[in-house]
Amino acid sequence: MSNSYKYIDPNFTYTDPKTGLLRNLQDITDPEVLVFVESGVVTKRLQELYEQPIKIKGIVSLIEIHKHLFQDIYVWAGKQRTVEISKDGKQFFPTSHFDNAFKYIDQLIIEFKKIQKNNQKQLAEKLAEILDNVNYLHPFREGNGRTQREFLRLLALEKGLILNLNPPDNKSVYERYMKGTIESNVKTLTELIFELINTNEK
């Protein structure tokens, strides 16, 4: 929850006006406790998706993943945000045009599924394009990064590829991922993804 994020939410749809914290199912009012508890429950739910991966059908699967990961902590898990978000003065995709964005990303996923498994360069390019668009969409009030990284992992897995954009033993991967998404640099993301799927190929 970076301070550089700004939310247009005058009605406090998601936050408690007294604490400034996200309203949560466990009535946590301490920010450090919320971060700790949220991290714990999401890690547990992520493990479930490693053990029982879901098939990516389209943008609907992104929503399904978010609901699964955050179901224990937020009542709005798996629901599109209704507030506008910006970071460092740059606005993410406006909520009023979500339907068009969903259709566009669904088309990118269809294109990805048509690429041959052995064409790793093209797969990496399409995954980077999907990631860039999903990140710009930023469809949830919180948890976008964790959800989109799992979404990409599961997409890659369908082609028999291992893709971890936040490995615990390699900080530079996550830093490059963040730089690529923040700057909307598809070339950087393509290079990173291509490198990772080659290194971790089964």
Residue 197: predicted pLDDT: 94
Q: Are 154 and 49 in contact (CB under 8 A)?
A: yes
Q: What pLDDT band is residue 1 in, cutting at 50, 70 and 90?
A: very low
Tens-place pLDDT, residues 35-84: 999 999 999 999 999 999 999 999 999 999 999 999 999 999 999 999 99
The rounded percent of the chain whose pLDDT value lies above 70 is 97
Closest CA to 166 of 142, 147, 185, 182: 147
d(CA 169, CA 94): 36
Residue 89: predicted pLDDT: 87
- The per-residue pLDDT of the chain, averaged, comes to 95
- Specify the CATH number for 5-91+98-199; select among 3.90.76.10, 3.40.50.300, 1.10.3290.10, 1.10.3720.10: 1.10.3290.10
In three-state secondary structure terms, 15 is strand
pTM (whole model) above 0.75: yes
> What are the extents of the domains in the chain?
5-91+98-199
Residue 31: predicted pLDDT: 95
Tens-place pLDDT, residues 91-120: 999 999 999 999 999 999 999 999 999 999
Residue 200: predicted pLDDT: 63
Tens-place pLDDT, residues 187-196: 999 999 999 9
End-to-end CA distance of the chain: 35
Residue 4: predicted pLDDT: 83
Residue 109: predicted pLDDT: 98
